[in-house]
Structures are given as C-alpha cells and as structure tokens.
C-alpha cells in the first residue's frame, strides 16, 4: 500500500468516525469522496484485500445482498457489505475503505458482497476485478428516470466486459440475461418446479416487457411463467430456449404472505417473507453459497436464523388492527404484491396510496399496467385510496370494479382511514414518498418509533 492510499484510508475512516460519533449520521458517501480525492486509485489499491461479488439488477438487490452475506458468513467467510441505499460508486468506495477487513477464521479470503446500482457497475469494474456478478432481474421501472430495459442491461454488460474472468451468475428465467456478447462463464438459476405434461405453448400477458427472443425477435412462449416475463421460455421458430439451470427450485410447497417453503435442488428451505419473487432472491443467495462451497444445511440455517433481514414488509398494530405496509413503485412489483395477497387466508382491506414526486416516478401511467382486477380473486373486503394522486388511483380501482371505495384526499386522516376499514387485517400499499408521509403520521401518533 502506498503512502497516498494509506492517507486516503485514514482520512475516510476518520471522517466516517466523525460523521457517526460526533454528528450521529450514517452514510459512506462523503468518506468515499474524500478517499478518492486523496487517492483516485484507492479502489485499485485495496482490491487485493478481498474478493468482490457484485449484485445488480432492478429489483431484489438489497435482500439478495443481505441473504448472500448471511449465507457466506454461515460458511465461515469474513464478509464486507454495503448498507442499503449505498449502492453508487461513492458509497461503495466509502464502505470498502472504512470497513476493517479481518481474515476469515478458516483462512479463506474475505469477501465483499456489494449491491451495485445498474449504472454504476462499469465504474466499479474499471477499478476492481470482481470474482462474480449476480444478476437478479431487469424490469421496467419508472422510465422517466431509468430508461428502457435494454439500455439498462447494456450498462451492466459494459461493466461485465471489464472483468472477463468473473463468473456471471444470472437469473436464467429472465430472457434478457441470455443476451450480451461477453465471454465470461455464465451459470443460471431458475424455477424448475413444474414438469410440463404436454405441449401447451403459452405467452406472457400483454402488459409484460422483454418477451422477444434474442435470436430472431419472435415472441417467446412459455412452459410456465412465475411472474412478469420470468419462467421457462422457448422459441417456436428456432432452437432457442431457457438455458440449462445449474441451481433449481425443485418444488414450491407453501406460499403465504408471511413465509414461503420450497426446495432448491431438493433441499427443503423456508424464508420468513412472503412473495414468490423473494424466492428468487433466496435462490440467488443459495447459488452464490454453493459456488463458494457453503453446504446446503448451512444455507438452510442461515435463512432460518435471520428473520430480521426480511424487513421490507412492515407489520404494525394500529389500535388492534393488523396493518401490513408494502411498497409499490412499478407494475411488476405491484403485481407481485397482488399475487401475495392471493395467498392471504384472512379477510383484509386495502388502503392504496399514490404520490408522483421524483422519488415515486412522476408519471403515474404505470398503475394501468398493474392488474388490480386480480384483487377480486382475493379475500379483499374494502378498498380505500389516498395520496397526492388519489384521483388516478381512485379511477384505476373504480375501473377495476371497486366502485364503493373510500377516498382520503388528506393523508393526515390516515389513522382514521385505517380504523374505518371493516377488517382486522389491513394492507397499505404505498409509493415511496407516500410511505414516508404515512410513516410520519403513524410516528406522530405514536404507532411506530421515529421515521426512517
């Protein structure tokens, strides 16, 4: 290590300590910036200290990263990881230079498992040669900010091309990951729980993106679809089909809003969070674990002993009502939430909140691509709408057949709104800033502690 890089690290660590202990602020972005300003090559300098695993994709990065971390720790690795939300280059640099890297107890090289924003993969790999890329999925997400799925994927591919030796471990159920002219070894994970009994070609619903075959742009057919455009696809015009899977979901045993049980390569597993889409995150973590030699039994334990990492769906009690808060932000995510509600055994009400600020996506047209009509197949008893763009959501749900919804123009009545719903169980689905406002209300009235 050079003198310059030593100074850079010390400065970053000092600023990190100062931010945390004196200013009581988190964040790794400022220390990252300081380190780079002293030694622009700081990432190159420190890379010999660990092996890097990059986790990227549209959805599921945070939970997948957390699960991989637990799985690898269960396998005896020392693991460095970035806090949720710190997935741009500055924050990642900050994480790497401020974390104390200790040798793994069993002498294995420490691993850095980093959630990386899609557009930042290239910046990281310009400095560090990762050992592995984990690709979760690519969906349309607030297109006013992120652009189209193919441009997003091209950004990731540019990053992969910087590291030709790295293993690419990708979601094989997502057709887009079969694209890209890079030479890296690829291995795929996916669902293999349904054996097609006869030839029954099926296509994705019309509001699904990314359904063209990479070979001849014909519309893909499926033996089965898990959600969105994910599933066991094949072309009817040539030999193209889903690549062979190395890690497979061999059975889906029980789906509930609180937990799922399933098997990967015939190992029975359980995760403490609902939603089929979360099984993909577990599958990705299982796959990484196996690549690094972690035994299935250890992975099973890692999943079961870490209920607190599945913190995305929050359950709170509002004067005796069981309130479950879920974030919605794009059609695929919303459909996944609706699919989860299909597994709810109790009668429930839905309070849906829509804002259209920058962090939510300023275009609300996406709500028309989410299949709210499917809510009729759940045990839903009442629908209420609110948020700054309550009108859009009110009309969406009205046209989906929910004609007697209650409308709350002002979010300050949210507690009253919850109490007025007829069921014991209440789901609140909110966009990002609506969620912040909701939490503020719940916090002000003492139902939850603090804000974010």
Partner 1 sequence: MAGYDISIAHLYGNLMNTYGDYGNIIALTYYAKQIGVAVDYHLVSLGDEFNATAYDFVLFGGGQDYEETIVAHDLKSKANPIREYIENDGALLAVCGGFQLLGKYMLMADGTKVDGIGVMDHYTTNMHDEKLTTLKGKRLTGNIVIKNNETGETYHGFENHQGRTFLGKNERALGSVVSGNGNNGIDNTEGVIYRNVYGSYFHGPIFTRNGNLAKRVLTTILNKKYSTIDWQTKLNLIETETF
Strand-pairing partners, residue 406, are 384
Two tokens, residue 431: 């966009």
Backbone angles phi, psi at 75, to 5 degrees: -90, 10
- Shortest Å, Cβ 320 to partner 1: 35
Which of 363, 392, 404, 410 is the catalytic position? 363
- Shortest Å, Cβ 237 to partner 1: 10
- Shortest Å, Cβ 20 to partner 1: 39
322 is catalytic: no
Tally Cβ neighbours within 10 Å of residue 181: 6
Q: Which is nearer to partner 1, 22 or 206 (CB)?
A: 206
Q: Which is nearer to partner 1, 342 or 362 (CB)?
A: 362
Q: Which is nearer to partner 1, 91 or 361 (CB)?
A: 361
Name the residues that contact partner 1, by CB under 8 A: 140, 143-144, 148-150, 203-204, 206-209, 211-212, 217-219, 362-369, 391-392, 395-396, 398-400
Q: Which is nearer to partner 1, 218 or 298 (CB)?
A: 218
Give the whole-angstrom CA distance, residue 222 versus residue 182. Answer: 26
Give the whole-angstrom CA distance, residue 302 versus residue 20. Answer: 29
Q: Which is nearer to partner 1, 263 or 391 (CB)?
A: 391
Q: Which is nearer to partner 1, 197 or 217 (CB)?
A: 217
Would strands 247-255 and 260-264 be described as parallel, antiparallel, or unpaired? antiparallel
- Shortest Å, Cβ 335 to partner 1: 13
3-state percent breakdown (helix, strand, coil) of the chain, nearest 5: 40, 20, 40
Q: Which is nearer to partner 1, 134 or 211 (CB)?
A: 211
Q: In Å, what is the CA distance from 118 to each residue of 50, 60, 69, 103, 446?
A: 22, 12, 20, 30, 38
Two tokens, residue 37: 């300003």
Place of tokens 């030699």: 293
- Shortest Å, Cβ 249 to partner 1: 26
- Shortest Å, Cβ 148 to partner 1: 4
Residue 194, Cα to own-chain centre: how many angstroms?
A: 24
- Shortest Å, Cβ 136 to partner 1: 20
Q: Give just the sign of the alpha carbon dihedral 222, 227, 229, 232.
A: negative
Q: In Å, what is the CA distance from 165 to each residue of 57, 130, 160?
A: 20, 8, 9
Q: Which is nearer to partner 1, 222 or 247 (CB)?
A: 222
- Shortest Å, Cβ 208 to partner 1: 7
Give the whole-angstrom CA distance, residue 428 versus residue 352. Answer: 6
Q: In Å, what is the CA distance from 8 to each residue of 5, 39, 102, 111?
A: 5, 6, 19, 22
CB under 8 Å to 188, separation ≥6 — which residues?
Answer: 169, 170, 171, 172, 177, 242, 243, 244, 245, 246, 247
- Shortest Å, Cβ 260 to partner 1: 30
Q: Which is nearer to partner 1, 212 or 252 (CB)?
A: 212
Give the whole-angstrom CA distance, residue 252 versus residue 232. Answer: 15
Give the whole-angstrom CA distance, residue 79 versus residue 100. Answer: 10
Backbone angles phi, psi at 135, to 5 degrees: -110, 115
Would strands 260-264 and 267-271 be described as parallel, antiparallel, or unpaired? antiparallel
Q: Which residues are designated catalytic?
A: 363
């Amino acid at each position: 290590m050079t003198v310059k890089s030593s100074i850079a690290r010390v400065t970053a660590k000092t600023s990190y300590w100062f931010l945390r202990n004196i200013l009581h602020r988190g964040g790794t972005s400022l220390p990252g910036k300081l380190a780079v300003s002293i030694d622009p090559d700081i990432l190159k300098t420190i890379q010999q200290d660990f092996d890097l695993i990059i986790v990227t994709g549209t959805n599921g990065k945070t939970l997948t990263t957390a699960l991989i971390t637990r799985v690898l720790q269960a396998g005896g690795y020392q693991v460095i990881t970035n806090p949720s939300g710190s997935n741009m280059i500055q924050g990642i640099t900050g994480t790497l230079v401020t974390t104390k890297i200790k040798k793994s107890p069993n002498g294995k090289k420490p691993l850095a498992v980093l959630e990386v924003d899609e557009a930042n993969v290239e910046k990281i790999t310009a400095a560090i040669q990762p050992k592995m890329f984990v690709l979760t999925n690519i969906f349309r997400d607030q297109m006013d900010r992120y652009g189209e799925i193919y441009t997003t994927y091209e950004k990731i591919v540019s990053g992969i091309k910087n590291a030709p030796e790295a293993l690419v471990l990708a979601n094989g159920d997502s057709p887009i990951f079969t694209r890209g002219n890079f030479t890296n070894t690829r291995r795929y994970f996916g669902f293999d729980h349904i054996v097609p009994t006869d030839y029954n070609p099926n296509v994705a619903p019309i509001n699904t993106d990314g359904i063209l075959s990479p070979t001849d742009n014909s519309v893909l057919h499926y033996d089965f679809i898990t959600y969105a455009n994910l599933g066991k696809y094949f072309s009817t015009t040539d030999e193209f089909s889903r690549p062979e899977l190395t890690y497979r979901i061999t059975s889906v045993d029980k789906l509930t809003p609180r937990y799922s049980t399933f098997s990967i390569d015939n190992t029975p597993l359980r995760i403490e969070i609902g939603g089929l889409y979360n099984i993909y995150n577990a599958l990705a973590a299982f796959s990484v674990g196996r690549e690094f030699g972690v035994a299935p039994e250890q992975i099973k334990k890692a999943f079961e002993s870490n209920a607190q990492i599945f913190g995305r769906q929050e359950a709170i009690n509002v004067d005796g009502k069981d309130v479950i808060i879920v974030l919605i932000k794009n059609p695929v995510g919303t459909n996944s939430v609706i699919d989860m509600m299909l597994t709810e055994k109790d009668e429930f009400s839905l309070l849906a909140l829509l804002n259209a600020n920058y962090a939510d996506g300023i275009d609300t047209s996406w709500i028309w691509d989410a299949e709210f009509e499917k809510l009729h197949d759940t045990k839903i008893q009442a629908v209420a709408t609110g948020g700054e763009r309550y009108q859009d959501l009110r009309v969406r749900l009205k046209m989906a057949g929910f004609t007697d919804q209650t409308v709350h123009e002002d979010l300050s009545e949210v507690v009253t709104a919850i109490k007025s719903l007829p069921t014991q169980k209440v789901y609140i689905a909110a966009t990002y800033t609506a969620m912040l406002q909701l939490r503020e209300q719940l916090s002000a009235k003492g139902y939850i502690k603090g804000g974010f």
